[in-house]
Every structure is written in C-alpha cells, then in structure tokens.
Amino acid sequence: MSIKAFDTVLVANRGEIAVRVIRTLRRLGVRSVAVFSDADADARHVREADTAVRIGPAPAAESYLSIERLLAAAERTGAQAVHPGYGFLAENAAFARAVEAAGMVFVGPPADAIELMGDKIRAKETVRAAGVPVVPGSSGSGLTDAELAAAALEIGMPVLLKPSAGGGGKGMRLVRDEALLADEIAAARREARGAFGDDTLLVERWIDRPRHIEIQVLADGHGTVVHLGERECSLQRRHQKIVEEAPSPLLDPATRAAMGEAAVRAARSCGYRGAGTVEFIVPGGDPGAYCFMEMNTRLQVEHPVTELITGLDLVEWQLRVAAGEPLPFGQEDIVLDGHAVEARICAESARATGGRVDFLPSAGTVHLLSEPSGEGVRVDSGLTEGTEVGTVYDPMLAKVIVHGPDRSSALRRLRSALAETTVLGVETNTSFLRALLAHPDVVSGNLDTGLVDRDAASLLPPEVPGEVYAAAALLRHADLEPEASPTGWTDPFSAPTGWRLGGEPAWTVHHLRVPGREPVAVRVRGRAGGAEVRVGDAPPVRAALRTDAPGRALLEWDGVVHVFAHARADGGRWLGRDGAGWHLADHDPVEASLRGGAGAHGADTLTAPMPGTVTVVKAAVGDVVTAGQSLLVVEAMKMEHVIAAPYDGTVVELDVTPGSTVAMDQVLAVVEPKEPGTPADGAEPVEGAAR
C-alpha cells in the first residue's frame, strides 16, 4: 500500500490542528473530510476542508468524543483513513481499534502501543525493562487515596500527582505540603475524570527546577525507528507548555545522541509505528541524569519546530507510514538545521493577585484578526474573523512558529511576529508571551519548568497605559460628533466639544472599564482630531486621533504617535497594539453603584473570574466560613478555579448551583465579614481570593 491508496481522509479533530492536517492533505492531493459540532458550524477547519460533517452538540462527549458518530461520518464520506490530530480521541486505543474494525486505517500507532503507553504506570515498567531510566514514583495502578498519600510520603515531598490516562498538564498537581495531599488528590481526580473519563492517579518524585525535554521519534512498519532530535519544552504554566524550541540550548551532541537512542528504545519496547514523542525530565545542572516521564502516542502540538529544523512534514510521514510505506531515510540522514521556536496563542487572561498570577480562560467573538507572515514565519491557526471562542474546548487558538539560523535570531524573529499578531474580541496571552521571550533567563537559555510561574507577575504590565484609555475615549468621542452639513457649518451646541457661550469649554466625561480593573474616567475637551484629554487624575495631555484605514487608528499623545487596531464590540471597543489587546467597556457608574448594593454594608461580593461552569458548591446561605475556605469551584476549558472566602464571615448570598453557567464578573456569592467593613481579627485579604 502507498499514500495513493488514500483518496479521502477524515480528520477527527477541530481548530488549528484540523486546519494543519488539511493543509498537508491538500498538498498531497488527498480529499479531506472535517467534522464539527454545533458550536463549530462556522469554524475555519470546516471552511477549509473539501467536505464537512456535523456530528452533534457542543459537548465533546456528544461530538468529538463520540466514536460512533465519527465512524458514521467517515463511512458516509467514503474515507479510507482517519487522522486523529491531538487531544480528544488521539490517544484512545478503543477508537484506533474501532477505526480498524470498520475497515479503515488509523493514522497513528497500533492500538496496543497506545494502550500500553497510555497507562503511565505500565509504560514506566516497560521502558525500564528496555534500559531507559525512569523517574522514581508509585508502582501499580488503581491506588486508593490513602495508598497514593502513603506512596507520596515514602517517595518524599515534594511530589507530582499525575493522571495515568492522559497528558497535556490536565489534572497534574505539585504538592509540597503533606497537609494538602488529601485535597490535592481529590482535585486531581476530578480534573482527570473530567478530561479523560478516568481518575486513576500516580505519584512521582518532583525534581526542583527541572527541564522538560522531549524527543521526536518516527517509526515505520518495517523495523526502522529514528529520532528527529529534541525539543525544549520547559516554559510552562500550570504544567502546560506555552513556548517550545528545537534544538534545546542545554544539550550537547553526546547527550542528544544518548537521549535519542533511549527514545528509540522506548518506541521499540511497545512496537511503535508512526510519529510519537518520548518525554524526559532533565535536571538542569546534570543533563546526563535524564529520566523518562511518558510517551505521547500522537502528533504533538509543538511538532512544527521539529519540522522547521529537519525539513520533514510529520503529518505527511504519518500518512505514508499508515499507508505501509517504509521510511526512505535512516538516523544518519537526519540533519538539524538552524533553530525554531513556537509560541502558543491561547484564549486566556492573566490576572495578578498578591504577587501571584492566575491564567484564566477567556471567551468572545473575534472581531478583528491579523496574523504575521514573512521570512521564517509560520502560523498554524484555527481562527478567522467572526470565530466564536467559547469555554467548551481547549483554549489554544493558534501557534506562531519561526525559524532562524541560530537561537538568538529565532527569538528576535518570534518577538517581532508576536508584535504583528492582533486578535481583538477575546483576551489572549500574546503580549505575555512577548514579555516572556525577552526575559533574561529565556534569552540566555537558563530555563526550567517553574520559571513562568515564578516570574509571571514581573511579566505583566502594572497598569493599562494612559494612551489606551485616551484612544478608546477619542474613538467614542468621534462617534458623538455630528456629520457636517452640506454647507460645512456645524451647530457648536451639537458637537461634543464642551463649547459654551462666553465660558471655558466643559469636559465631556467617558467612563471606561477594562475587565479586572477599576473603572477610569477619561475627560475630553475639544474634538477627537485635536483635544485635551485627562485620564483619571493625571494632568491633561494634548491629543489627536485620526483613522487612516478600517480598523486602524493613529493617536498622537503628548507628541508621540501610537498605532492601534480597533474594533467595536457590544458595550465598548477593543484596542490592540504590539500583540496586546484591551477590551474597554462603557461603564455606567450609577448602574454599577446600584448593582453593588450588597457591598455597601461591608459584605464582600465574590464574582466569576472567568466564563465557565460551576462544578462544586461547598457552602450555603447562612454558613459561617473562615478566610481561605473553598466555597465554589468554577471550571472552564477543563481548568478549575477555586473561589475562596476572603475573610472570616457569613455567606449571605449564594446565587449558583452545580451546573450553573456563569459569565465573567457574574456575582456568585456574598460573604459578610465577621466585623462588617474590616477583615476579621485584623486579617489581610486572602491571596488569590476572587473579589
């Protein structure tokens, strides 16, 4: 069999990976079939495929995780093969077997290999027997909470709790305090059950300041297994990667070769076929002491950096191997050229609270989109203007990948590409990524998996720049200006210039609010094309706004010209610059004061920090609670956020139940302090408590 045997391939996924796979299918002349849920009816992958099939409602269990519906779509469209992408059913052995049983080819490894490596406990035992070093941890599956806790204590704190059935950082919990083990095990089980349908956990020794380095392997069905070098994946938040690069700045040629050989042994130990990744934990001070963590039996999100330094299309080779073709190259033929770095654009907002940063899912409609291009720049994206970004699926929207002759060139090129990336309508992490890539330790290559969480607060701007508020206010101000009459004369009383007969012009006040921040009053005196502007309590500044193209505005602010992308949104406007985006909502202080009545007598209103679903309610009206006590859990995009009591006090309002869908900033509960108006016993507000 050869690739010519595939006339039609169904892509059992969505978003940027579906678009990525479709691109290779198109280049190879193979017809592509997309699938979509009701929520994705107008998604980019649906538009780009040759054929698309609706497979069910938005919940993944009824669409992208439904083996029956996916196979029905494949049969209806005459697909000879199914490509699973990553996520959803990509590492589901039952799905691979069902595809084969239906007479189609699964574009991935054998089901037995998926099953073996998907069980992290069995995987460790298997590769250990093949001579691959592994991380010390629990052995045996199906451990109870008590057995997990006992294993953790035997290994020694700190430890890492990990779901046995899946990866991607979901359900992983770093536990340093023995007293927190029970709560963290319960939370890890909930997340694992929600993400993978299996709450089996294992526990591993945590290596402080480790590096996460993985090896890409490729195996055919004729006995050839090669590795394609390594990827450095140490820049993570919440155990999820956000920046990856190849090769790693840590490894020398000898260590690279040794880790590559270990990855090949791991692949052979499970009878692997296709593209896969062997992940290692590596002590930064002793790269030779690397240990196997797990094997991902699928294409990785970060595969483009390997493609850019090897010149190989991994999706193409997945398809060719699945069609039975042998690899026409051996290990000696693999040459690494230059350096590649990838940044993941995610729908999320970063909020600093008491020195800590929470990365919370965001949602919205993409009103304006501009993606970078140029020499050495690649974008894998699932976005188009009009895309509805919800909280049902993974928050990753796109990836910006660059290639350069060396690491420093690639980092500079990626920072520039991110500055050219504009997504208005939903908050993203783009500006945070730019700041991270300029971090001195990132520039020098001194990385570890805790760097982002440790230094995140320093990478956030302390406040929204004044010119952002000024631009939004002047755009709003311009909307109020009347069109000139045919004679060119305008009634001075109809224009918002503040003009008064015989008096000093008055200020027009625009009340604006950026989510997560206090409202700001922006005063304007004059026309948008030339005015005095006062942002909050700051001194007035001369400013002028003009638009030279749709969605583009130039603001001269105190003699400096700033270029903004802008788009209207319900109740306000979005502005973007240098990869950053801000939603400046119209704010009515009178309405806000009426809504905040509960807080007027000293009660503390707890609001949703992100759009999502309430999964756990641990309190009721009338309950006496203590500072830091968990009251509710809100989940979005398979991420949990605990809503805690900010003070000792009493729950006086509770407006949600398990299963409630909530919007960002929606009131969830109200806690009245033990001593109204002040924290009980002089306590300070609890760090991270939702306010």
Which CATH number belongs to the domain containing residue 650 in this structure? 2.40.50.100
pLDDT of residue 332: 97
Residues 610 and 566 in one domain: no
Average pLDDT, the chain: 90
CA pair distance 339, 344, nearest whole angstrom: 17
DSSP letters along 81-94, please? EEE--SSTTTT-HH
- Domain count across the chain: 5
Residues 665 and 619 in one domain: yes
pLDDT band at 70 (very low <50, low <70, confident <90, very high): very high
CA pair distance 678, 691, nearest whole angstrom: 15
How many angstroms from the chain centroid is the CA of residue 478? 36
Residues 572 and 625 in one domain: no
Residue 120 lies in a domain: no
CA pair distance 640, 351, nearest whole angstrom: 15
What's the average model confidence in pLDDT over 74-101?
A: 97
If one compares 406 and 607, the residue with the highest pLDDT of the two is 406
Buried b (16+ CB within 10 A) or exposed e, 261-296: ebbbbbbebbebbbbbbbbbbbbbeebeebbbbbbb
CA pair distance 357, 302, nearest whole angstrom: 24
Last residue of a domain, one of 534, 563, 587: 587
Bridging pattern class, strands 604-607 and 667-673: antiparallel
Dihedral, CA of residue 455, residue 460, residue 463 and residue 466, to nearest 10: 140
pLDDT band at 644 (very low <50, low <70, confident <90, very high): confident
- Is 80 exceeded by the pLDDT of residue 665? no
The CATH number of the domain holding residue 539 is 3.30.700.30
What's the average model confidence in pLDDT over 301-313?
A: 98
Dihedral, CA of residue 689, residue 428, residue 420 and residue 366, to nearest 10: -140
pLDDT of residue 686: 39
Under 8 Å between Cβ of 33 and 79: yes
- The rounded percent of the chain whose pLDDT value lies above 90 is 67
- Is 90 exceeded by the pLDDT of residue 627? no
pLDDT of residue 353: 72
Residue 59 tokens read as 């919940």
Residue 268 lies in a domain: no
Type of residue found at 288: G
Under 8 Å between Cβ of 667 and 655: yes
- Is 50 exceeded by the pLDDT of residue 689? no
- Candidates 80, 75, 74, 120; CA nearest to 104 is 80
pLDDT of residue 63: 97
Residue 187 lies in a domain: yes
How many angstroms from the chain centroid is the CA of residue 323? 33
CA pair distance 383, 371, nearest whole angstrom: 10
What's the average model confidence in pLDDT over 158-183?
A: 85
Least confident piece of the model among 78-82, 180-184, 407-411: 180-184
CA pair distance 64, 679, nearest whole angstrom: 48
Residue 253 lies in a domain: no
Residue 41 tokens read as 């009816």
What's the average model confidence in pLDDT over 90-101?
A: 98
What's the average model confidence in pLDDT over 263-267?
A: 98
Least confident piece of the model among 425-439, 472-486, 569-583: 472-486
pLDDT band at 599 (very low <50, low <70, confident <90, very high): very low
- The rounded percent of the chain whose pLDDT value lies above 70 is 91
CA pair distance 448, 51, nearest whole angstrom: 43
Residue 239 lies in a domain: no
CA pair distance 374, 402, nearest whole angstrom: 10
Last residue of a domain, one of 587, 619, 639: 587
CA pair distance 624, 613, nearest whole angstrom: 25
- Is 50 exceeded by the pLDDT of residue 175? yes
Under 8 Å between Cβ of 583 and 625: no
Residues 613 and 572 in one domain: no
The CATH number of the domain holding residue 376 is 3.30.470.20
pLDDT of residue 127: 97
Which residues neighbour 350 within 8 Å (Cβ) at sequence distance 6 or greater?
357, 358, 359, 360, 429, 432, 456, 460
Residue 500 tokens read as 């008064």
The CATH number of the domain holding residue 192 is 3.30.1490.20
Residues 537 and 559 in one domain: yes
pLDDT of residue 643: 87
CA pair distance 364, 369, nearest whole angstrom: 13
Residue 648 lies in a domain: yes
Distances in whole angstroms, Cα of residue 386 to Cα of each of 8, 31, 134, 383: 29, 26, 47, 8
CA pair distance 681, 626, nearest whole angstrom: 11
Beta bridge partners of 562: 555
The CATH number of the domain holding residue 68 is 3.40.50.20
Residues 562 and 623 in one domain: no
CA pair distance 491, 476, nearest whole angstrom: 20
What's the average model confidence in pLDDT over 362-391?
A: 96
Under 8 Å between Cβ of 94 and 100: no
CA pair distance 661, 671, nearest whole angstrom: 21
- Is 50 exceeded by the pLDDT of residue 601? no
Residue 178 lies in a domain: yes
pLDDT of residue 680: 39
Sort 156 into a burial class: Cβ within 10 Å, 0-12 / 13-18 / 19+.
exposed
- Supply the range of the domain harboring residue 676: 595-682
Residue 278 lies in a domain: no
Bridging pattern class, strands 377-381 and 508-513: unpaired
pLDDT of residue 251: 97
Under 8 Å between Cβ of 589 and 519: yes
CA pair distance 314, 306, nearest whole angstrom: 9
Type of residue found at 173: R
Residues 38 and 81 in one domain: yes
Residue that has been written with the tokens 């010209």 in this structure: 561
Residues 578 and 641 in one domain: no
pLDDT of residue 499: 58
- Candidates 275, 327, 317; CA nearest to 296 is 275
Last residue of a domain, one of 205, 233, 266: 205
- Is 70 exceeded by the pLDDT of residue 155? yes
**Taking the CA of residue 384 as centre, how many other CA atoms within 13 Å lie in the half-sphere pointing to its CB?**
12
Which residues neighbour 555 within 8 Å (Cβ) at sequence distance 6 or greater?
467, 470, 471, 474, 543, 544, 545, 561, 562, 564
Sort 189 into a burial class: Cβ within 10 Å, 0-12 / 13-18 / 19+.
buried
DSSP H stretches of helix in 501-608: 589-595
Under 8 Å between Cβ of 581 and 424: yes
- Is 60 exceeded by the pLDDT of residue 454? yes
pLDDT band at 588 (very low <50, low <70, confident <90, very high): confident
Residues 472 and 577 in one domain: yes
pLDDT of residue 690: 37
Under 8 Å between Cβ of 377 and 402: yes
Least confident piece of the model among 93-102, 105-114, 304-313, 602-611: 602-611
Residues 417 and 530 in one domain: no
Specify the 3-state DSSP secondary structure of 175.
strand
Residue 61 tokens read as 């269990």
CA pair distance 39, 389, nearest whole angstrom: 9
pLDDT of residue 613: 87
Counts for the chain of helices (H) and strands (E), in that order: 17, 38
Least confident piece of the model among 117-126, 215-224, 346-355: 346-355
Residues 566 and 599 in one domain: no
- CB atoms inside a 10 Å sphere around CB 335: 9
What sign does the dihedral 592-593-595-601 (CA atoms) show? positive
Residues 571 and 619 in one domain: no
Query: pLDDT by residue (tens digit) across 4-48?
Result: 789 999 999 999 999 999 999 999 999 999 999 999 999 999 999
Residue 563 tokens read as 């270029």
CA pair distance 77, 63, nearest whole angstrom: 17
Bridging pattern class, strands 541-549 and 552-557: antiparallel
- Is 50 exceeded by the pLDDT of residue 633? yes
pLDDT of residue 80: 98
